[in-house]
Amino acid sequence: MGRGTIALLTKEIPADKRILITFGGGSVKKNGVYDQVTEALKNHNTVEFWGIEPNPSIETLRKAIELGKQEKTNFLLAVGGGSVADGTKLIAAGLLYKGDAWDLVKLRKPITDTVPMATVMTLPATGTEMNRNAVISRYETKEKYGIAANYPVFSILDPETTFSLPQNQIAYGIVDTFVHIMEQYLTVTGVSRPMDRWAEGLLQTLVEIAPKIIDNPTDYNLMSDYMLSSTLALNGFIALGGVPQDWATHQIGHELTALHGLAHGHSLAIVLPGTMNVLRAKKGDKIIQYGERIWKIKEGNRNERIGKTIIKTNEFFRSLGLTTHLSEEGIGYETVNEIERRFNERKVAFGENANVTGAVAKLILQDRL
Amino acid sequence: MGRGTIALLTKEIPADKRILITFGGGSVKKNGVYDQVTEALKNHNTVEFWGIEPNPSIETLRKAIELGKQEKTNFLLAVGGGSVADGTKLIAAGLLYKGDAWDLVKLRKPITDTVPMATVMTLPATGTEMNRNAVISRYETKEKYGIAANYPVFSILDPETTFSLPQNQIAYGIVDTFVHIMEQYLTVTGVSRPMDRWAEGLLQTLVEIAPKIIDNPTDYNLMSDYMLSSTLALNGFIALGGVPQDWATHQIGHELTALHGLAHGHSLAIVLPGTMNVLRAKKGDKIIQYGERIWKIKEGNRNERIGKTIIKTNEFFRSLGLTTHLSEEGIGYETVNEIERRFNERKVAFGENANVTGAVAKLILQDRL
């Protein structure tokens, strides 16, 4: 992590590797990242694959896997945001998998052999640079699933690469980071003080820097704090100490993205206040702790404090310029019912108490209409 | 980490290894840890070495190295506190070093080859279980130095092993953990918000749990929080984000231990308030931030706030039952002058500003008479 670290690619990737470099839509050609990468790898053997889209699709990734096999690549370098990196994780597995790579996603076939991959991250959000998660979509059937894939062998984070990010990407990234922390934090109290303080410290950081970043997205220190927070929000540190995890908000958000193309972070901003409201009986103690430590809410009875805390959380997301209700995005009952139907069909029950069934997801979404 | 994890030794250490198990003075025979270790390794090939003392000495470690060579051991298991683990790190290097292992300490010869080692930690304090540090003493010449050695391949932390610790060991361990954080935190402001919040979260945890632990040292959750905090205080996490580090307090403390046999944590409780006081010009901003966030000190002018913060820190150490002044331990000017002389002779200048010379160390120690 740091200024100028893309140049480290030269020595970090062994000289004898045949590298498939994967990219998104082309923003890296405008902000100078592409030039830095190609300069660093000018004496390496490289092939490029362009066009991994936001919410990377199996349809696109199959083409990359085909190219990688054809070119006999034995190292992958993802250059871009979380979608490029996630997609590349599936390519890394797909290159050594005999069947269709969608099996690895839909059927959750265990991913054992992978081609080594690294990342140059240009969008702080998903934390994929330091974990083994990947989220892959299938456009044809409007499906989107998270899987446990492979760790990058290294990741490069130069905060300067974020200076040209559009404001909505920054807003989505801040929400994504915030909700990653909340999914690991907003469960039960009393499990681990050090880990609670760690999660709260990251939340406090985001609340403090978010308005400053919106006003000044080229401040190196601010963007460093944001970039480091994004990585640390989902690299396993918060879960040290055996902290229970939720992830229901993500699962419901994935459906909104799959059905309506909502940006991932945006979908989370819509869903989280509903999860907090509907699950207040189980999560109440932790919501109160969160409200007190992050938003200084100390007055009122239990339900009032929970209510104020949810309002503050909702306002924080809106302060980033995001809508936080389904109706604001033209999404209505039809989608609520479809998500309930899908959860029921899959017989899933998400959350730390395994109680977010189709029926509960419906309550959460109704709360956000 | 967790209850019953010592049993994992059976599968964590390859069956074909010849293991040298290192111990301290014998407390593990009273608290059941020895029985758990021998039960787990009953089908392994083991040799025991007993008697690694607090502030492990090269004199003792030479004997362990001799035994290890004689027995052709190719795996080391340290069972005990930080001293046993630190000593075992030097044994791990000494087994493959041709000369006298003291060269590795005094001459700081780079440690390249080591026999793999693991730890079973029974005293949360030094963090050695997840870093490559070791501190080794030479009794003959009253010297004590820290070195960069090797990482354990794994460490086992069962909070129940701490239930029988004497109160002074717990007090020393809490101070040691606290000062490890401070050495990485109390430098300059504005380097990294996430890392500042992380350090503060660990400090808050210690301040909250310390009085509870003193009253109830067999509370599993409390001891888990303490044990995890000790590991996280010195495993490199706080220093992520390029945080500058101090360590002058440790260097001065090491001399007090070398000259007078003060327990390591105790030496730090004596020195730290002096470091804060004498270096208040450079460290003032961070001392004020620390005072506000850990001790809620918000009133008064700059110097008053710094003063109150130092008093609070001193009182915290005293609340653990420790003395915090040299005179209380019968240590006077002679030692102050000897430490100044040693620092001058070695031409050292410690601290994040490399300004803690012999003369400054003398000021710090005079402040603690």
Residues B185 and B310 in one domain: yes
Q: What share of chain B is helix, strand, coil (3-state, %, to 5)?
A: 55, 10, 35
Q: pLDDT tens digits for A35-81?
A: 999 999 999 999 999 999 999 999 999 999 999 999 999 999 999 99
A3 touching B, CB under 8 A?
Answer: no
Residue A242 banded pLDDT, cuts 50, 70, 90: confident
Contact partners, residue A62, CB within 8 Å, separation at least 6 = A94, A100, A101
How much of chain B, in percent, has pLDDT values that exceed 70? Answer: 100
Q: Is the four-CA dihedral B156, B157, B162, B165 of positive or negative sign?
A: positive
Residues A146 and A58 in one domain: yes
Q: Do B209 and A229 touch (CB under 8 A)?
A: no
Domain boundary among A161, A192, A221: A161
Domain boundary among A136, A161, A186: A161
Residues A135 and A270 in one domain: no
Residues B202 and B304 in one domain: yes
What is the DSSP pairing of strand B18-23 with strand A154-157?
unpaired
Q: Does residue B23 carry a pLDDT above 80?
A: yes
User: What would the mean pLDDT of B225-237 be, rounded to a whole number?
Assistant: 96
Q: Does residue B265 carry a pLDDT above 80?
A: yes
- Name the residue of chain A whose CA is nearest to B192's CA: A225
Classify burial at B323, counting beta carbons within 10 Å of its beta carbon; exposed 0-12, middle 13-18, buried 19 or more.
middle
pLDDT of res. A138: 96
pLDDT of res. B319: 97
Nearest to B198 among A1, A193, A201 (CB): A201
What per-residue string of b and e applies to A233-271 under the rule 16 or more CB within 10 Å gives b?
A: bbbebbbbbebeebbbbbbbbbbbbbbeebbbbbbbbbb
Nearest to B197 among A190, A202, A221 (CB): A202
Considering all CA atoms of chain A, what is the largest pairwise distance in Å, rounded to the nearest integer?
66
> Measured between alpha carbons, how far is residue B340 from residues B123, B266, B355, B357, B359 in Å?
32, 20, 13, 8, 6
A232 touching B, CB under 8 A?
Answer: yes
B113 touching A, CB under 8 A?
Answer: no
Q: Does residue B240 carry a pLDDT above 90?
A: no
Residue B235 belongs to a domain with what CATH number? 1.20.1090.10
Give the closest residue to B12 by CA, choosing from B46, B49, B44, B36: B44
Residues B108 and B222 in one domain: no
Q: pLDDT tens digits for A323-347?
A: 999 999 999 999 999 999 999 999 9
Q: pLDDT tens digits for A279-326?
A: 999 999 999 999 999 999 999 999 999 999 999 999 999 999 999 999
Residues A43 and A144 in one domain: yes
Residues B59 and B146 in one domain: yes
Nearest to B228 among A2, A194, A221 (CB): A194
User: What would the mean pLDDT of B346-356 be, rounded to a whole number?
Assistant: 97
pLDDT of res. B347: 97
Residue B61 banded pLDDT, cuts 50, 70, 90: very high
**Contact map slice: A 240-279 vs B, CB within 8 A:** 240-242
The better pLDDT of the pair B60, B190 is held by B60
A198 touching B, CB under 8 A?
Answer: yes
Which residue, among B197, B205, B222, would best test binding to A if mutated, counting the most A CBs under 10 Å from its CB? B197
Q: Do A194 and B242 touch (CB under 8 A)?
A: no
> Which amino acid, one-letter code, is at B269?
A
Residues in B closer than 8 angstroms to A208, CB to CB, are 193
Residue B232 banded pLDDT, cuts 50, 70, 90: very high
Residue B94, min C-alpha distance to chain A (Å): 32
How many whole angstroms separate alpha carbon B317 and alpha carbon A92? 53
Residues A156 and A185 in one domain: no
> Measured between alpha carbons, how far is residue B265 from residues A304, B80, B335 in Å?
45, 17, 18
pLDDT of res. A241: 74
Domain boundary among A137, A161, A185: A161
> Which amino acid, one-letter code, is at B111?
I
Residue A243 banded pLDDT, cuts 50, 70, 90: confident
Q: Does residue A246 carry a pLDDT above 90?
A: yes
Q: Does residue B241 carry a pLDDT above 80?
A: no
A205 touching B, CB under 8 A?
Answer: yes
Residues B56 and B174 in one domain: no
Q: Do B197 and A194 touch (CB under 8 A)?
A: no
Which residue, among A202, A225, A230, A232, would best test binding to B if mutated, counting the most B CBs under 10 Å from its CB? A225
Q: Do B228 and A241 touch (CB under 8 A)?
A: yes
Q: pLDDT tens digits for A163-179?
A: 999 999 999 999 999 99
Q: Which domain holds residue B215?
A: 166-366
Residue A139 belongs to a domain with what CATH number? 3.40.50.1970
Residues B107 and B78 in one domain: yes
B158 touching A, CB under 8 A?
Answer: no
Which residue, among B188, B193, B227, B293, would best test binding to A if mutated, counting the most A CBs under 10 Å from its CB? B193
User: In total, how many domains does chain A have?
Assistant: 2
pLDDT of res. A240: 84
Q: Do A201 and B194 touch (CB under 8 A)?
A: yes
Residues in B closer than 8 angstroms to A209, CB to CB, are 193
Residue A12, min C-alpha distance to chain B (Å): 20
Q: Do A232 and B240 touch (CB under 8 A)?
A: yes
Residue B243 banded pLDDT, cuts 50, 70, 90: confident
Residues B128 and B196 in one domain: no
Residue A193 banded pLDDT, cuts 50, 70, 90: very high
Residue A301, min C-alpha distance to chain B (Å): 25
Nearest to A228 among B2, B204, B240 (CB): B240
- Name the residue of chain A whose CA is nearest to B206's CA: A194
B200 touching A, CB under 8 A?
Answer: yes
Q: Do A193 and B205 touch (CB under 8 A)?
A: yes
What one-character-per-residue DSSP string does B171-225 give?
Answer: HHHHHHHHHHHHHHHSS-SSS-HHHHHHHHHHHHHHHHHHHHHHH-TT-HHHHHH
Residues A209 and A358 in one domain: yes
